[in-house]
A and B are shown apart, each in its own frame.
Chain A
Amino acid sequence: MPRGLALLALLGCGACTIDVGVAPDAGPCPASPDFFVSDVFPFYLQANQCNSAGCHAFEDGHGTLRLRTPGLAPVPGTPLEQWPFDWRENYLSALQLVRCDDPSQSRLLTVPEGQSNLHPPGPVVLDRASARMIITTWVTP
């Protein structure tokens, strides 16, 4: 259809809207909430100072990963919906950066390891073996 006629058709018809399709059934990675509290946060995120001011602290951080200063940790087995707000948001923020299908390729690992040249401070995770062990254990059912 010539473009001029397309304009008239667009303005005149009520059904000329895109088809939104069907939502993909890809769900989130079911990484263990309890392991996040017991290992991932203290021995990976905190140990590598990810939540420092100017890095990925919620208030003034950079990038997708944003970490709040959490209070008392939830008791193991507590449903995620009942977690303290700060802990839940930290878990959800970190969860976006892991891959269940290939844990070693999780951006939570590759970016701070400096593998993709996208981490402005450069590589900050020096003990890569331990880091990979933590993340792999976290996302493996």
Chain B
Amino acid sequence: MSGRAVVVAALALVVGARAGGAQERGEANGSIRVFAQPVPSAHLVVITPTVTGKVDAKPWLSFDVDWSADVVSGATPRTYGLPDVVSAATDFSEVRNVIGAGAAGVVGPATISGGYAYGTENDYRSHLLRLGVTLDLFHHNTTLALNYSHSFDSICDLAQPGVPVTLRQPLDTSRGCFSGIPALTEESLGIDNLEATWTQTLTKSLIGSIGGTYQHLNGFQSNPYRTVRLDGGLLQAQESHPSLRDRGAITARVRWAVAKLASTLGADLRLYRDSWGVQSITGELNWEQPFSVASPAWRYVGRARGYVQSGAIFYRDAGNADSYERTGPVGNFFTADPELAPLADLLIGGRVVHASTHPANHRRWHMFTHVEWELGIDYVKMFALSPEPPIAARIRYFASALVATIGASGGF
């Protein structure tokens, strides 16, 4: 592989496009991801099938469609606070569906895109609009991308107008949601999301990108089913989160092509901060290499990721002296969200990929000129950084999470 080709392959890894895609008229992708938190007392399984498709109607115009679902089942304790309520974990299952469509047009070096997605589940509705522009400059050596989306979400909740947060009760069931019955209401949540990315070829074998994301959330951000014990258990109220949240992150990535091995070494660093006081840092190293340089159709990817975050300013751990149960809420707020607790995790994963190309007159299954399969497994071990975080059993189990992915994509 020439140095230039290696750089192109590395660039494809960064921007998520395939090297052979430029000559294709479209592509189709399908995958199934299985996420499992296997601890017996509070197990959780999420199966996520995804299908996407894109077709180039004209050299300057393409259309895309996508569908994904989350099929969730498990058991989870809904009340946070001592005494231990793990044995009261509630069985639940739900299905989320998201379907979307979009279009993209090429104008000179710019690709302008837009789209819409609709998400639905028993207790949640979402309408998302997105716009984006990508500039491909200096013979593909520089790519600038700017994407914006706004989501209009509705969340089912118990109707409790005027009730103080410490007396608000959780939603028991999604039964009756969005049917207009007076006992229930729809809370709103608006989400603005802005992303900017600059990807740059740095040398013949090195490419880098730096990106920033900013998200503004305004509305109901609590889980309507979760409860927190306050004041010795005399109050057991629906978790109360602030209605405003600003989140920002900066991500830097580099990919170094090792031509002699036809391999790519990647390193990612992400810094995150939000207005709820959560700060995090993520570092990842990954290595992609063919099993044989002479036969590069089969390749493997190994990766290791470390993550650590602080807790939200209104998070109080049930095992500490200043727990909600002992000292009450932090102002108006109290949470049972494990993602707002200080924690760390370590992910080790790998995947095997097989890619094949086919001439236009011998298409695979009479359709595809490029087919790629992949099978991946990730192991996640979480580490609690406070004595008794929500759903501590999942964190402490030898495997906090296992993720298996099988996917296929084809270009035509």
B-contacting residues of A (Cβ < 8 Å)? 3-4, 6-8, 10-11, 16-24, 26-28, 58-59, 61-64, 66, 81, 85, 88-89, 92-93, 95-97, 107, 111, 115-118, 120
The answer to whether B277 touches A17, judged by C-beta atoms less than 8 angstroms apart, is yes
The answer to whether A20 touches B176, judged by C-beta atoms less than 8 angstroms apart, is no
Query: Closest chain B residue to A24 by CB distance?
Result: B164
B: contact size bracket: 35 or more
**Could you say which of A10, A23, A27 contacts B246, with CB atoms under 8 Å apart?**
A10
Q: Is B87 an interface residue (CB 8 A)?
A: yes
Could you write out 28 A-B pairs with CB less than 8 Å apart? A6-B214, A6-B216, A7-B250, A10-B214, A10-B248, A10-B273, A11-B271, A17-B313, A18-B242, A19-B331, A22-B332, A23-B166, A23-B329, A24-B332, A26-B164, A27-B231, A27-B235, A28-B231, A28-B235, A62-B172, A63-B172, A64-B78, A89-B233, A96-B169, A96-B235, A116-B182, A117-B181, A118-B184
**Chain A: interface secondary structure?**
loop
Least Cβ distance of A115 to chain B in Å? 8
The CA of A81 and the CA of B325, in the complex, are separated in Å by 14
A61 / chain B contacts, CB cutoff of 8 Å: 88
Known: A10-B246, A18-B276, A96-B236. A24 touches B169 (CB 8 A): no
A4 / chain B contacts, CB cutoff of 8 Å: 194, 196, 212, 214
The answer to whether A10 touches B194, judged by C-beta atoms less than 8 angstroms apart, is no
The answer to whether B173 touches A120, judged by C-beta atoms less than 8 angstroms apart, is yes
Least Cβ distance of B348 to chain A in Å? 29
Query: Closest chain B residue to A25 by CB distance?
Result: B164
The answer to whether A11 touches B227, judged by C-beta atoms less than 8 angstroms apart, is no
The CA of A26 and the CA of B172, in the complex, are separated in Å by 22
The answer to whether B87 touches A17, judged by C-beta atoms less than 8 angstroms apart, is no
Interface residues of B in 292-308 (CB under 8 A from A): none
Interface residues of B in 253-275 (CB under 8 A from A): 271, 273-275
CB-CB contacts of B216-250 with A at 8 A, as 1s and 0s? 10000000000100011111110000101111111
Known: A10-B248, A63-B172, A116-B181. A16 touches B165 (CB 8 A): no
**Could you say which of A27, A115, A118 contacts B176, with CB atoms under 8 Å apart?**
A118
Q: Is B22 an interface residue (CB 8 A)?
A: no
